[in-house]
Amino acid sequence: MRELARSFATPAEIFEADVRDIAAVKSAANDFMSRHGVPDLVIGNAGISKGTLTEFERDAEAFRETFETNVMGLVHTFHPFVAPMRSRGQGILAGIASVAGFRGLPGASAYSASKAAAISYLEALRVELHGSGVRVATICPGFIATPMTAKNPYPMPFILPVDDAARRIVRAIDSGRSFSVIPWQMAIVGRLLGLLPNAIYDRLLAGRAHKPRDN
């Protein structure tokens, strides 16, 4: 985080909180607002990805952790700022979802389901805040070269370096669009996958290698 801040020549102040713990997130948010006022932009970006298979009982814990982080983490991150932004009549809530939420990915069912839920949640929040002056932006990246993708045993088309992805996300938020896919090529891939009939999609993805599960 500090390296990214330096790369954009922007000073950074760090507040620690587990996004699964709403009390901890509210405390950090209130601490920030007491020092700096209501922010212009809040980005919900915390996320985890684990290989999961429903047939293994121990993977139920990975499902729970993934949903608590990827979905409830967004809720907890945005909650403290909604009322203050609405009162001010201005602000942006930007949620990082994923192209993985467009269709269910075998071996990554928890991740793709959580990102599908994130997309729907952000859409509902956008409509709830319509006319309030608070804008909600949904950002769906494709593959980004991070430790989370490093162990993926399958091709990752159009994968982006972290700094490049961050700059594209900033541009997408600044654009004013309510929904963005990064990079644009993944929007085409996602649209094509969405158009495939189930029978073809099933055959196409059935032999795909799975993300490693926790042992």
Position 4 pLDDT exceeds 60: no
Closest alpha carbon to 45 in 117, 120, 141, 110: 141
What would the pLDDT profile of 93-131 be if each residue is shown by its tens digit? 999 999 999 999 999 999 999 999 999 999 999 999 999
CATH superfamily for 2-206 is NAD(P)-binding Rossmann-like Domain (3.40.50.720)
Positive or negative, the CA dihedral 99, 151, 15, 30 is positive
| Residues in contact with 84: Cβ distance below 8 Å, sequence separation at least 6, in sequence order | 33, 38, 91
pLDDT digits (tens, 9 = 90+) for 56-77: 999 999 999 999 999 999 999 9
Catalytic residues: 111
**Rounded to whole angstroms, how far apart are CA atoms 199 and 31?**
52
pLDDT per residue over 17-54, tens digit each?
999 999 999 999 999 999 999 999 999 999 999 999 99
Query: Per-domain residue ranges for the chain?
Result: 2-206
Angle at 19 between CA 104 and CA 68, to 5 degrees: 35
Buried b (16+ CB within 10 A) or exposed e, 53-66: eeeeeebeebbebb
Please tell me the distance from the alpha carbon of residue 55 to that of residue 36, in angstroms, as a whole number. 48
Report the alpha-carbon distance of residue 149 to residue 20 in Å, rounded.
22
